Amino acid sequence: MRKIALITGSGKGIGAATAILLAKQGYDICINFNNNLKAATETLHQAKSFGTNCLVVQADISKEKEVVSLFEQVDTELGPITALVNNAGILLPQTKLENMTAERINCIFNNNVTSYFLCSREAVRRMSTNHNGTGGTIVNVSSAAARLGSPNEYIDYAASKGAIDTLTKGLSLEVAAEGIRVNGVRPGFIKTDMHADGGEPNRIERIKSSIPLMRGGETSEVANAIAWLLSNESSYVTGSTIDVSGGR
């Protein structure tokens, strides 16, 4: 059976590393991005070098119509997906709760939570044996922030990732009998541009002494965990979330 994977927010960072690794493993790939076409195109070139079918689709996955259109385009150009990696998300500048506005909080939850629900819904409609699908796998990218809370920095982001952990558990139970496995990964302090989005590009250097492994993680290390959860090697794993956080 052809393996077709959609990775949201895969123009760069963890998403890009995952897209390239899955292409290397023989998946046909849809690279989704919202703003950075240049980065997404570079990821596309690397993924295509492994000889699989790949495409790039722009979509703001916090918007329902764009999610529906994204999945329909994948249906047309690649076929119904067998693997979904919910990875896209945002981080806003560090601040305490007392300074947060409803606009900021809603923005975080629309981008980090609503998007995962919408994409998972479309995936289930295609994968579920109840809908004549052949099954599939979903991996949700959470964050160690869901456990740590990110006080004084961005507890709104941390709370959004806590919601993703709950989604992972609940959805896994909902669709287990329909041929779909749902798992998650919680990256810790990974070397990506997201720290700059939070206003502190060198954040890992500041906190690495508090990480048991004494370093930040690589995007490839998270991608390896995602790929394992998508594979048949994890065929008896569902409703689980793996910490990829250096022990913190």
Asked whether the beta carbons of 229 and 24 are under 8 A apart, the reply is no
Length of the chain: 248
Burial of 131 (0-12, 13-18, 19+ CB in 10 A): exposed
The CATH number covering residue 19 comes to 3.40.50.720
Q: Using alpha carbons, select from 247, 246, 244, 248 the residue that is nearest to residue 14.
A: 244
Each residue of 29-72: pLDDT tens digit? 999 999 999 999 999 999 999 999 999 999 999 999 999 999 99
Each residue of 103-126: pLDDT tens digit? 999 999 999 999 999 999 999 999
Task: Quote the pTM value.
Answer: 0.95
Enclosing domain of residue 119: 4-244
The mean pLDDT value for 230-238 works out to 98
Residue 195 has pLDDT above 60, yes or no: no
* Cα separation, 90 vs 77, whole angstroms: 28
Each residue of 132-183: pLDDT tens digit? 999 999 999 999 999 999 999 999 999 999 999 999 999 999 999 999 999 9
The mean pLDDT value for 182-205 works out to 78
**Catalytic annotation present for 157:** yes
Catalytic residue among 27, 116, 157, 236: 157
Residue 188 has pLDDT above 80, yes or no: yes
Vertex 45: Cα angle to 67 and 2 (nearest 5): 60
Q: Which two tokens stand for residue 112?
A: 């980090």
Q: What is the tally of structural domains in the chain?
A: 1
